[in-house]
Structure 1
């Protein structure tokens, strides 16, 4: 069977495609080629069903090795953007490519509970993952196997706590990759981290523990969700070592993002991790939101704090950043004190999460497909992290990016104070979406934009900062 990007005999033929390559740029040539082809599909220059040049022809036109082109075609084929068939060469997939922009049919603005307008061309919302990286081919292969093998009875109402296969696979994965102390019985599968957080908050409120400590600053959407679930929120400040554990109330409950604080990006220091475990064992309860801990670049992996006090920690994770928020797949690993109460809340909330998606994810975890996807995604996100940091150095050298060692966002410390509303409006005029704007800082998400788009977004942000009325 020919390799992706080849036709029978791989004759140097096929249409010409303009993909500029900058050999002086830090971005590798293969990454530039992949991004150029994605843009060509997104802009309609390569229409659905359209043929690409053979790998030999493309390599000759661009002056690069044929192997580089073959690898780029293979990557886009794995993403579902291209299809390769024996004797037919490589073509653009009939379905719209991942992450493509269709000018004639713009997507409706996101009006969800996260509270932002995500209809800007250069959207820097910190919660957006790279949807173009969804492993369509691997997901489809696992789903096909599930559909072929699943007994009819499994298509009825599911176990509200989750499919046994997924709970077992998650217990093994979390123990191995995050150091979580987990058994399948303690895992509850939820419809995204938002539902998991709401279930825990409601269970605590019914048990007479409505007060919940949250980090200051923290994600506004989480504060809104918790308040709606009946929680009374109490902020505790975050500094360069993470949340100030010494200020946590004895016997209280706290929601923390210790691996990569949202939004500052700091990691909870080892000293404070030890202090937090001591606080929890003395009667406190920790809700650990491990929302993007898989993505680390310049530091060693940090184990979940749950392993330090597993009987006093509710661990929360999801596939929203690693796969897609549209799947609505998340998980809780619960201590005995919360397990039954959250199970009841889950059963009453929705009677269970989509079973086919659960079984598909379980199959990917069992096969190691999910781990391979995460490794590739980590490289992709690191490239984008590097691109936005480089762009800030070029266009906005007076600003200081913080929290860049991990995650999908950074906090930009501004060189001078700004009027937040005026800056947001000036950015919107330039088709840039910015969020979490404070007088001296902005939270910038970078995972959903290409390196070239990140450079343009930072250039436009720089122009917005220079607009009349923005600077204080």
Structure 2
């Protein structure tokens, strides 16, 4: 493999893949004495001196490097030999040519009296919301699905991707959502995207005007809308979810909701309000953007069906596997009204450049063979046990703390006395615990929900660290008054 610039200072990449030895390396060859041999020696010295080639690194065989760079074999062999003689490299029969151990670049000398800046302390425990238990990813089942999917995949799956997403995944998603979430979905209405944020970016390119957003939510999502040139107005929430009866007064043409589990306060949208927001959309030609956040993880009663089922032509349903499987997969989906499909595909482009086709194929098999359902059921039990442990510990050690938003999801909200959020978060940091305040998620009016509070994510810690995380949390909470 060779990648050479236009002039004598161009970067050259040499590799020994042809002989199965060494690795690719990037060298900057410059003009100077000694011709090409001298340029190669200087480039290798510089790479070792600066630490780009670490001690013990095996270099490509000189025959391979010479062939890749278009040099005579003797030129590379002589360069290697000179650097061995100088002590930069070592050469042993059967071991190849390597960077010498004593060629490690010297550490910079710090002037007297200069203090070494302290490294940021990494929290020992993590109760930040937003991530599932990474240790519970179903590796064996995912590997089996990946193997089956690759074996069965048509050749065209390895070419440029369809912006709609793989048909196998769109069919599997449509079937699953119809069965499990009450969504009215057809494969030709499903567009694959890299999670909710990716969906919001695409929708921001096709929508215009003003969107109403809940008074608690992620500032990141509001920024995505603003970056797309859309205005936002705040819709207050209370213990029954967004107060959708106030939509008419906002003048918004669309509304972004988390009906299954309001983020982050944790309530669900009341049945009357679910019907009311659909009536508003029908009467005004408006659009509901439904973020099915935590829709699959309800603990105290059956999951609430999606609002989209009430009117598929007025609701955009968005979901992903970020919480149910892993955010590392970067796979989500939109179920679109018919009039938006072409516009969203045009905004996405002619080819799929967002989500790996191989991950899509594996997920399609994972859903179709029942592994996804089994995993969700298993994780629902796992997270419910986590939630119950959190509630038990708080009841024993901090009974004065009110806990809300516990009927679903991977986090709970702990109500705090007014004005104590920052102090408690700082106290948690002293205990080695990362946890978030509720305040930064607030950007409007709310009633019947905590003013000051903590957003405690109980899905993130590995099992061995969960007890310690709960202990640190209790240590940080303010005492009863």
> Do the two structures share a fold, i.e. TM-score over 0.5?
yes
Matched with 1:424 is 425
Alpha-carbon contact 2:160-2:352 (below 8 Å) kept: no
Matched with 2:83 is none
Alpha-carbon contact 1:384-1:451 (below 8 Å) kept: no
SS across alignment from 1:214: strand
Question: How far 1:248 moved relative to its partner?
Answer: 0.9
SS across alignment from 1:311: coil
State the alpha-carbon separation in 2 of the partners of residues 125 and 352 from structure 1.
Answer: 27
Question: How far 1:396 moved relative to its partner?
Answer: 1.4
Distance 1:348 1:429, change over 3 A: farther
Question: How far 1:457 moved relative to its partner?
Answer: 2.5
Question: How far 1:240 moved relative to its partner?
Answer: 0.9
Alpha-carbon contact 1:161-1:347 (below 8 Å) kept: no
Matched with 1:380 is 382
List per-residue Cα deviations over 1:345-367 (Å, max 9, x = no partner): 22269535211110111111111
State the alpha-carbon separation in 1 of the partners of residues 334 and 369 from structure 2.
Answer: 22
Deviates more, 1:381-390 or 1:434-443: 434-443
State the alpha-carbon separation in 2 of the partners of residues 202 and 119 from structure 1.
Answer: 38
List per-residue Cα deviations over 1:162-219 (Å, max 9, x = no partner): 0011001111110000000110000000012210111112211xxxx23111101112
Matching residue within 192, 195, 206 for 2:195: 192
SS across alignment from 1:193: helix
List per-residue Cα deviations over 1:263-303 (Å, max 9, x = no partner): 11101111111111111111221000002110010012211
State the alpha-carbon separation in 2 of the partners of residues 293 and 315 from structure 1.
Answer: 12
State the alpha-carbon separation in 1 of the partners of residues 466 and 224 from structure 2.
Answer: 30
State the alpha-carbon separation in 2 of the partners of residues 360 and 410 from structure 1.
Answer: 32
Verify: 1:459 aligned to 2:459, yes or no.
no
Alpha-carbon contact 2:210-2:254 (below 8 Å) kept: yes
Matched with 1:275 is 276
Matching residue within 447, 452, 456 for 2:459: 447
SS across alignment from 2:160: coil
Verify: 1:404 aligned to 2:406, yes or no.
yes
Structure 1: runs of 5+ lacking an equivalent: 1-116
SS across alignment from 1:405: coil
State the alpha-carbon separation in 1 of the partners of residues 229 and 326 from structure 2.
Answer: 28
Question: How far 1:122 moved relative to its partner?
Answer: 1.7
Matched with 1:70 is none
Question: How far 1:392 moved relative to its partner?
Answer: 1.3
State the alpha-carbon separation in 1 of the partners of residues 301 and 135 from structure 2.
Answer: 26
Larger radius of gyration: 2
Q: How many residues align?
A: 348
SS across alignment from 1:361: helix
SS across alignment from 1:234: strand
Distance 1:118 1:216, change over 3 A: farther
State the alpha-carbon separation in 1 of the partners of residues 393 and 400 from structure 2.
Answer: 12
Structure 2: runs of 5+ lacking an equivalent: 1-119, 440-450
Matched with 1:330 is 332
Question: How far 1:452 moved relative to its partner?
Answer: 6.3
SS across alignment from 1:417: coil
State the alpha-carbon separation in 2 of the partners of residues 251 and 443 from structure 1.
Answer: 29
Distance 1:268 1:132, change over 3 A: same
Distance 1:285 1:248, change over 3 A: same
Question: How far 1:119 moved relative to its partner?
Answer: 4.8
List per-residue Cα deviations over 1:354-397 (Å, max 9, x = no partner): 11110111111111111111111111111111111111112211
Matched with 2:77 is none
Matched with 2:161 is 158
State the alpha-carbon separation in 2 of the partners of residues 284 and 270 from structure 1.
Answer: 19
Alpha-carbon contact 1:163-1:355 (below 8 Å) kept: yes
Verify: 1:366 aligned to 2:368, yes or no.
yes
TM-score for both structures, normalised by structure 1: 0.70
State the alpha-carbon separation in 2 of the partners of residues 255 and 337 from structure 1.
Answer: 18
